[in-house]
Amino acid sequence: MKIVGTIAELNALLGPKPQCAFVPTMGALHAGHANLITEASTQAKRRGFPGGCVVSVFVNPTQFEDKADLARYPRTLEADADLCKKHGATYLFAPGVDEMYPPGRPVGVPPIPESGTRPNLEDKARPGHFAGVCQVVLRLFQIVRPRVAYFGEKDWQQYQVIRAMARQQALAVEVVASPTVREPDGLALSSRNRFLSREDRKRALALVRGLKAAGRAPSPAAAEAALLTELARDGITPDYAVVRDAETLLSPTPGRPMRALVAARLGSIRLLDNLPYPNGI
> What are the residue numbers of the active site?
33
Residue 236's closest CA among 194, 271, 195? 271
Binding flag, residue 64, ligand AMP (CB under 6 A):
no
- Least Å distance between CB 189 and ligand AMP? 4
Angle between helices 7-14 and 129-144 (to 10 degrees): 40
Candidates 14, 20, 26, 226: give the one binding ligand AMP (CB under 6 A): 26
Choices 2-10, 27-35, 97-105, 250-258; region in contact with ligand AMP by CB under 6 A: 27-35
Task: Indicate the residue among 188 and 207 with the shorter CB distance to ligand AMP.
Answer: 188
Task: Compute how many residues bind ligand AMP; rule: CB under 6 A.
Answer: 17
Candidates 116, 146, 152, 215: give the one binding ligand AMP (CB under 6 A): 152
Distance CA 37, CA 85 (A): 10
- Least Å distance between CB 47 and ligand AMP? 20
User: Helices (DSSP H) in the chain: which residue ranges?
Assistant: 7-14, 31-46, 67-72, 77-86, 97-100, 122-125, 129-144, 156-168, 198-203, 205-216, 220-233
Candidates 4, 18, 20, 25: give the one binding ligand AMP (CB under 6 A): 25
Query: 54: which strand partners?
Result: 22, 91
Distance CA 212, CA 62 (A): 34
Binding flag, residue 205, ligand AMP (CB under 6 A):
no
Choices 29-37, 96-104, 124-132, 273-281; region in contact with ligand AMP by CB under 6 A: 29-37
Binding flag, residue 155, ligand AMP (CB under 6 A):
yes
- Neighbouring residues of 201: CB distance < 8 A, sequence distance ≥ 6: 187, 193
**By three-state DSSP, how is residue 189 classified?**
coil
Binding site for ligand AMP (CB under 6 A): 25-26, 32-33, 35-36, 151-152, 154-155, 178, 180-181, 188-191
